[in-house]
Amino acid sequence: MDDLIPGLPSDIASECLIRIPFDRFSSARSVCRSWRSELGSTTFHRARNSSGLARSHFALAQAEPNPTQSGPAHKYAAPAYRISLLQPDSATWTSLPPVPDLPLGLPLFCQLASVGTQLVLLGGWDPDTWTASNAVFVYDFVKSTWRRGSLMPGPKRSFFACAASVDLAVVYVAGGHDEEKNALKSALAYDLARDEWAPLADMAEERDECRGVFSRGGFHVIGGYSTEMQGRFGETAESFNTATWRWGPVEEDKIREGTCPRTCVAGEDGRIYMCLDGHVVVEDGVAWRVVARVAGG
Q: What is the pLDDT of residue 285?
A: 86
pTM: predicted TM-score of the whole model, two decimal places: 0.87
Residue spans of the domains in the chain: they are 10-50
290 DSSP assignment: E
* Phi, psi of 234, rounded to the nearest 5 degrees: -90, 175
- From first to last of the 297 residues of the chain, give the pLDDT tens digit: 567 888 888 888 888 888 888 778 878 888 888 888 888 887 887 888 888 877 788 999 999 866 555 555 455 566 899 999 998 888 889 899 999 999 999 999 999 999 988 999 999 999 999 999 999 999 998 888 999 999 999 999 999 999 999 899 999 999 999 999 999 999 999 999 999 999 999 999 999 999 999 999 999 999 999 999 998 999 999 999 999 999 999 999 999 999 999 999 999 899 999 999 999 999 998 889 999 999 875
Query: Among 116, 114, 161, 158, which residue's Cα sits nearest to residue 135?
Result: 158
Cβ-based neighbour number of residue 152 at 10 Å: 20
47 DSSP assignment: H
Q: What is the pLDDT of residue 76?
A: 59
Q: What is the pLDDT of residue 73?
A: 47
Q: 3-class SS at 36?
A: helix
Measured CA to CA, the distance from residue 160 to residue 207 in angstroms comes to 8
Give CA torsion, residues 252, 255, 256, 261, to 10 deg. -130
Question: Count H helices, E strands: the chain?
Answer: 4, 19
Query: Among 86, 85, 80, which residue's Cα sits nearest to residue 65?
Result: 80
Q: What is the pLDDT of residue 68?
A: 53
Question: Measured over all CA atoms, what is the biggest interatomic distance in the chain, rounded to whole angstroms?
Answer: 70
